[in-house]
């Protein structure tokens, strides 16, 4: 009898498992549990394979395989991907526009700011900040409307915004700018090489600013980690020594003070990039406030000057960001060999990162893709593949970075591995449905997305 009872109990195990699986698949339960399970999985993966220990070592070799590069289809493909040539800055003295130093008030706090957080969503920093920037001017949409355009996920999750944001870890600045210019009645621009005085002038003139910056915080193990973050900047107060910001992540996050040195240090991580959303009828006024930054090429050259200055004056871990910024500025000028050389130095500095002060900023390639451009257009295809492998396999728990997948696919194609390229393009579309670069890459091969 006891034996029969034990057998009956054993039958309960698969029944309970099946019921549990069935309940988990119910949309209301799945949407709540899936992100938590993914977070648990991430922590387990990171415990056994700490992402901060992953180090990419550039090879530096130019991969000019005569059997692949000379092939007609691949040569045409290369021409398709190569941006048109543009004038580049030359060495030696050049006229430099005068940077306006018109005095501004000692404190400004813009009225009419509508705070939007990123809570109860995953990876919603970009949509939340852009929503604040648009709402400031009277736009009536919300963060989910922005997310449908800039991070649509796989396209199979419908209105499940909570889960939709999970795979796509980051929205690039250009994607936010394009969303405004293509989907709203407002306009947006981005520039590299901003500075604090410019931000103050913009705010004093009534234009709030979105910056992308890094910051450090303790992770769940207590170690100091680096992350990327957007920050909607709506005021400043010299007496208190900082900018007034709307932080979509922190609780509370409205009208916080970001002290000038901390703001500056974090901003350096992203080459001092900033975005401004504005009504079209105020464009002339905005350009006047921007001064020389109105010229995008000048702004990039200025960013390069800032990076070179930082390289000479900074020490320790901060040198990684300075060298990375130099690479990004050269990349934006389409000086790809110079950019690749600077990125090589950045990664060498990264390898020597003082981990006693903080974990390595292993998320860097989640947010910035300049090395892929630079190595690819320098014909260093194996470096593109190796960097993508390190990023996808060693810095993230699941390989869901569409930019890394795309560039690895392009490099695979150039060395003759077409099937691997196709697989990567399709994997990128599984993260970001209908993403134009991946769609185009497949269409150029005669394939349907």
Least confident of 126-130, 174-178, 213-217, 392-396: 213-217
Q: pLDDT digits over 121-180, tens only?
A: 888 999 999 999 999 999 999 999 999 999 998 765 445 666 666 678 899 999 999 999
Q: How far apart are CA 366 and CA 128, in angstroms?
A: 18
Give the Å distances, CA to CA, from 377 to 75, 192, 234: 13, 21, 39
| 430 alpha carbon, distance to own chain's centre | 18
> Does the structure show a pLDDT above 60 at 9?
no
Q: How far apart are CA 119 and CA 116, in angstroms?
A: 9
Name 138's Cβ contacts closer than 8 Å, sequence gap at least 6.
Answer: none
Listed residue (375, 371, 374, 329) closest to 350, CA to CA: 371
Give me the phi and psi of 423, to 5 degrees please.
-60, -40
Residue carrying structure tokens 């992402």: 51
Three-state secondary-structure class, residue 257: strand
Residue carrying structure tokens 């944001």: 165
Mean pLDDT of 244-255: 96
DSSP category for residue 350:
H
Q: Looking at per-residue confidence, does 315 or 138 come out higher?
A: 138
pTM of structure: 0.85
Q: pLDDT tier at 50 (50, 70, 90 boundaries)?
A: confident
Residue carrying structure tokens 């977070």: 39
List Cβ<8 Å contacts ≥24 apart for 10-17. none
Listed residue (345, 347, 407) closest to 376, CA to CA: 407
What's residue 7's pLDDT? 52
Give me the residues paired with residue 243 across strands: 236, 258
> Does the structure show a pLDDT above 60 at 8?
no
Q: What is the 3-state secondary structure (H, E, C) of 136-180?
A: HCCCCCCHHHHHHHHCCCCCCCCCCHHHHCCCCCCCCHHHHHHHH
Q: pLDDT tier at 25 (50, 70, 90 boundaries)?
A: very low
Name 348's Cβ contacts closer than 8 Å, sequence gap at least 6.
Answer: none
Mean pLDDT of 239-256: 96
Mean pLDDT of 49-61: 86
DSSP category for residue 434:
T
The domains of the chain, with CATH numbers, are 2-48 (no CATH), 101-294 (3.90.70.10)
Three-state secondary-structure class, residue 217: strand
Residue 261 CA neighbour count, 13 Å, CB half = 0
């Amino acid at each position: 009898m006891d034996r029969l009872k034990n057998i009956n109990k054993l039958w309960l195990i698969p029944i309970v498992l099946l019921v549990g699986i069935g309940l988990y698949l119910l949309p209301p339960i799945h949407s709540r549990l899936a992100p938590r399970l993914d977070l648990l999985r991430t922590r387990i993966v990171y415990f056994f394979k700490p992402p901060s220990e992953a180090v990419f070592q550039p090879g530096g070799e130019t991969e000019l395989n005569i059997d692949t590069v000379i092939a007609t289809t691949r040569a045409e493909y290369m021409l398709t991907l190569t941006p048109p040539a543009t004038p580049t800055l030359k060495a030696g003295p050049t006229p430099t526009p005068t940077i306006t130093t018109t005095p501004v008030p000692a404190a400004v706090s813009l009225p009419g700011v509508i705070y939007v957080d990123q809570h109860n969503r995953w990876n919603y920093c970009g949509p939340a900040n852009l929503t604040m920037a648009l709402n400031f001017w009277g736009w009536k949409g919300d963060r989910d409307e922005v997310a449908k355009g800039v991070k649509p996920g796989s396209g199979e999750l419908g209105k499940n915004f909570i889960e939709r944001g999970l795979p796509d870890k980051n929205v690039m600045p250009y994607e936010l700018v394009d969303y405004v210019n293509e989907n709203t009645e407002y306009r947006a621009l981005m520039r590299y090489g901003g500075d604090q005085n410019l931000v103050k002038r913009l705010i004093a003139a009534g234009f709030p600013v979105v910056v992308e910056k890094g910051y450090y915080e303790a992770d769940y193990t207590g170690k100091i980690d680096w992350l990327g973050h957007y920050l909607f900047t709506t005021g400043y107060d010299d007496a208190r020594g900082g900018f007034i910001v709307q932080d979509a992540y922190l609780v509370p996050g409205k009208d916080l003070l970001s002290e000038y040195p901390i703001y500056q240090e974090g901003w350096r991580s992203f080459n001092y990039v900033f975005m401004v959303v504005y009504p079209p009828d105020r464009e002339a006024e905005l350009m006047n406030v921007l001064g020389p930054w109105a010229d995008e090429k000048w702004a990039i050259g200025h960013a390069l000057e800032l990076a070179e200055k930082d390289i000479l004056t900074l020490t320790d871990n901060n040198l990684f960001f300075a060298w990375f910024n130099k690479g990004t500025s050269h990349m934006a000028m389409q000086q790809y060999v110079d950019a690749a050389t600077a990125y090589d130095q950045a990664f060498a500095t990264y390898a020597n990162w003082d981990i006693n002060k903080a974990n390595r900023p292993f998320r860097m390639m989640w947010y910035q893709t300049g090395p892929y451009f630079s190595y690819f257009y320098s014909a260093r295809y194996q470096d593109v593949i190796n960097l993508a492998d390190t990023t996808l396999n060693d810095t993230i728990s699941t390989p869901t970075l569409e930019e890394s997948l795309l560039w690895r696919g392009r490099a695979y194609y150039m060395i003759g591995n077409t099937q691997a390229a196709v697989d990567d393009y399709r994997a990128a579309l599984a993260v970001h449905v209908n993403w134009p670069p991946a769609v185009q890459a497949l269409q150029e091969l005669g394939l349907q997305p």
